[in-house]
């Protein structure tokens, strides 16, 4: 059975957050779809999922995930209707694989924002998820902040399948619309020199206009920072905002140049915020030469 672990995990999570009557009714609905796989039937069930299952959080902790064909998908953002709609898609994928692609697109085109959110959160669970790249790109360009957030945050699809230019645009859009950049999955893996340049230009523009910017954007500076990036980030380790200092330190820890360790060590001596101090200690450890680390263990 395709994606059997995904189906079993989602079913168990859904049963835990809806009434026994709702769970039984939905199980019958899935059984009917499995026996008579039909796109029209799926669309009807897809539309009714929120009314039948509600929108309660699955209650999954931050580490809980379900595995698709390639990536693990975090469950923390899933609600009952999202889980139910994902199960409907997985059931059709099992029962009538050649109908899935058109059904996903039809559900996306005809659905409201909550239905589209369920689709983009389900993409990495579906067979051959790369075929839905155009759909994900469309969601990444939307003006619907909740839909964009569902694609950009806690979702492995963009980092896995987005071209570099589109991924960079997604990260910068997340910063502009104040979607949590730190929740863009795979950011450390997909960071690149052009994204670093875009981040520095963005920071300079915000500074010149006297505007703030989301502190986690420092995570988007790559391991090949352009000239001035390290100095700029070091300057923000002295910022009046502890939040800005925290993310500047975390960004520096990703850069890797050992020459910043002395500056961070100096900052540690005067830092008062406990979260920032912990981040400094971790960064200094990461930036220390490997032989120094081995001697300290």
Q: What is the pTM of this model?
A: 0.91
Tokens of 152: 């950009």
Distance, CA of 6 to CA of 9 (rounded, Å): 5
Q: Coil, strand or helix: which one is 74? A: strand
Specify the DSSP class assigned to residue 51.
Answer: H
**Count of CB atoms situated within 10 Å of the CB of 69:** 14
Provide the percentage of residues in the chain whose pLDDT is more than 70.
Answer: 94
**Extended beta strands in the chain, E state:** 65-67, 72-74
Structural domains of the chain, with CATH: 4-188 (no CATH), 191-296 (1.25.10)
Q: Report the phi/psi class of residue 54: left, alpha or beta, with left for phi > 0 and alpha for psi in -120 to 50.
A: left
Q: Coil, strand or helix: which one is 189? A: helix
User: Could you read off the pLDDT of 126-159 as tens digits, one per residue?
Assistant: 999 999 999 999 999 999 999 999 999 999 999 9
The radius of gyration of the chain's CA atoms, rounded to the nearest angstrom, is 22
- CB 24 within 8 Å of CB 53: no
What's the mean pLDDT in 179-193? 95
User: Could you read off the pLDDT of 202-251 as tens digits, one per residue?
Assistant: 999 999 999 999 999 999 997 778 898 999 999 999 999 999 999 999 99
* Whether the predicted pLDDT of 295 surpasses 60: no
Strand partners, 73: 66
H/E element, 73: strand 72-74
């Amino acid at each position: 059975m395709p994606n059997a672990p995904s189906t079993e995990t989602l079913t168990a999570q859904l049963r835990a957050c809806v009434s026994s009557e709702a769970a039984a009714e939905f199980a019958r609905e899935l059984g009917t779809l499995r026996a008579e796989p039909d796109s029209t039937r799926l669309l009807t069930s897809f539309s009714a999922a929120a009314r039948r299952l509600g929108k309660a959080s699955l209650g999954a902790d931050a580490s809980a995930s379900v595995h698709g064909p390639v990536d693990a998908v975090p469950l923390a953002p899933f609600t009952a209707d999202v889980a139910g709609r994902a199960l409907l898609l997985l059931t059709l994928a099992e029962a009538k694989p050649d109908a899935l692609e058109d059904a996903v697109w039809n559900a996306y085109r005809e659905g409201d924002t909550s239905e589209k959110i369920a689709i983009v959160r389900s993409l990495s669970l579906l067979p051959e998820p790369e075929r839905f790249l155009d759909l994900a790109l469309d969601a990444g360009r939307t003006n619907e902040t909740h839909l964009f957030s569902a694609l950009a945050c806690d979702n492995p699809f963009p980092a896995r399948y987005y071209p570099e230019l589109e991924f960079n645009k997604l990260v910068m859009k997340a910063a502009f619309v104040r979607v949590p950049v730190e929740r863009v999955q795979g950011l450390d893996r997909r960071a690149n020199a052009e994204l670093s340049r875009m981040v520095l230009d963005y920071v300079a523009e915000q500074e010149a206009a006297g505007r703030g910017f989301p502190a986690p954007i420092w995570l988007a500076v790559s391991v090949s920072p352009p000239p001035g990036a390290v100095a700029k980030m070091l300057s923000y380790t002295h910022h009046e905002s502890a939040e800005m200092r925290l993310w500047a330190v975390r960004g520096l820890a990703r850069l890797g140049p050992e020459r910043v360790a002395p500056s961070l060590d100096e900052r540690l001596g005067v830092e008062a915020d406990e979260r920032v101090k912990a981040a400094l200690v971790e960064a200094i450890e990461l930036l220390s030469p490997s032989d120094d680390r081995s001697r300290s263990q």
